[in-house]
Structure 1
């Protein structure tokens, strides 16, 4: 069986002394500046961040934007995106749309839809993307497969590792028949993995329909579907929601990310302008 090395009090005391003398080593993965601040330095090692949303708000698109932001600022980072809802080809199109600002619909038939200038931009973006340590997965749907891949990839990553899972409700756990117990198994394993490997994991989750029936559409922690373990095991929980009800179907709309639980930092909200055709999230200043 695998032996897990534990830190002694002496080790921890020495680490604290080192931080006091040489300063804190901030090794959080940077994405959006305002989100980095709320999370206390970015996506920090050993932390599970769950982001919940109702269908259609843009949680998968937000995950793609997080990847682009992280790789823009840390090009050597290793990033894995496990998508159980969309194919790798669909997610690649989303990455291209986000990177180039070209409407995602044009990638369905690029030969006819893209202008010559746009084709040049797409080629440039493709060359940048393929140089990153970025891997997309659409065939890994069972929890043990995903965990195994994360272990291998984190072990091989020299300059930091980030895993994004889209989304919780689609992960299979054959060892459990009861869905609530399956959810508990998933969140527990991911939380243990963040600590064991010293990595951040971003887990996307759907919210219950209850939020649609309320006058106040801002989600709350009890809207997380199926299990209290999501809230319990997550270091931080954020909700993406349409805060501007007038324009929630517009091409450009306000989507708010509200951090409703943050074990290691502040709570707060960030307003984003979501450019839906281009799938781009930009902080609304």
Structure 2
């Protein structure tokens, strides 16, 4: 198979911040240690060796990061077409959708603007025949409920996100809301919508020092989201 690249449009974090997290998750060296420079050089636990190996892997990885402070749907379309043609990208990641702007004058109608952005992403994905992973904010209604697990109705500023997306997944960590929970360092991926597949929840291990998720032994689809 021909290797395909990934285009990341990071509107929230800078390229340096995102690179730090990529290096930590790839190397297994704690993010705090990378930032402070307090690294081990002990035999068998050499942070320098792990970082060198990770940097080599990432240097060869076909990842293209755009950390422009602003991006509208027309600019994204132009950049994505160019990257598809030159770098054969196979995935576009947007962090996050609500920081984008639409293609016209909306006179304060943010719902219509987000609707246009969402539908523009849908059209672009079909045109380029590649998946687009768009992160989204949630509404504050989640915080006012006893059950903090997000639902499709919590997607912020537009119902069209739910309508346009083929798959909607939420990340949920119980201990963020209930410190006494038994699910320490465990996260749920809630598959709330899957146009061609099953919905449910998958447990993952949360690794705080690397700010990443990892496989949890025996992880599987454990329950229906709507149950």
The reply to whether TM is greater than 0.5 is yes
**Aligned equivalents of 1:236 and 1:206: distance in 2?**
16
Offset of residue 248 of structure 1: 8.7
SS at match of 2:136: strand
**1:89-128 paired onto structure 2 within 5 Å:** 89-110=16-37, 113-116=38-41, 117-128=46-57
Question: Paired residue for 2:117?
Answer: 186
User: What is the root-mean-square deviation of aligned Cα atoms in Å?
Assistant: 2.2
Question: Paired residue for 1:253?
Answer: 185
**CA contact under 8 A between 1:76 and 1:132: conserved in structure 2?**
no
Question: Paired residue for 1:151?
Answer: 81
**CA contact under 8 A between 1:254 and 1:274: conserved in structure 2?**
yes
180, 190, 194: which one aligns with 1:262? 194
**CA contact under 8 A between 1:184 and 1:229: conserved in structure 2?**
yes
What TM-score comes out, normalization by structure 1 length? Answer: 0.68
**Aligned equivalents of 1:248 and 1:206: distance in 2?**
26
**Aligned equivalents of 1:218 and 1:131: distance in 2?**
38
Offset of residue 75 of structure 1: 8.7
Offset of residue 189 of structure 1: 0.7
76, 79, 90: which one aligns with 1:161? 90
**CA contact under 8 A between 1:101 and 1:280: conserved in structure 2?**
no
**Aligned equivalents of 1:248 and 1:203: distance in 2?**
32
Question: Paired residue for 2:132?
Answer: 201
SS at match of 1:176: coil
Question: 1:146-198, CA deviations, whole angstroms, 9 ceiling, x for partnerless residues?
Answer: 2211111122344x511110001111235233211110111111100111110
Question: Paired residue for 2:9?
Answer: 82
Question: Paired residue for 2:204?
Answer: 272
**Aligned equivalents of 1:163 and 1:211: distance in 2?**
28
How many residues end up aligned between the 2 structures?
208
**Aligned equivalents of 1:219 and 1:194: distance in 2?**
25
Q: Please list every run of 5 or more consecutive structure 1 residues that lacks an aligned counterpart in the other structure.
A: 1-73
**CA contact under 8 A between 2:27 and 2:53: conserved in structure 1?**
no
1:224 aligns with 2:149: no
**CA contact under 8 A between 1:270 and 1:283: conserved in structure 2?**
no
What TM-score comes out, normalization by structure 2 length? Answer: 0.84
Runs of 4+ deviating beyond 6 Å: none
Judged with a 3 Å threshold, the aligned counterparts in structure 2 of structure 1 residues 107 and 132 are, in CA distance, closer, same or farther, namely same
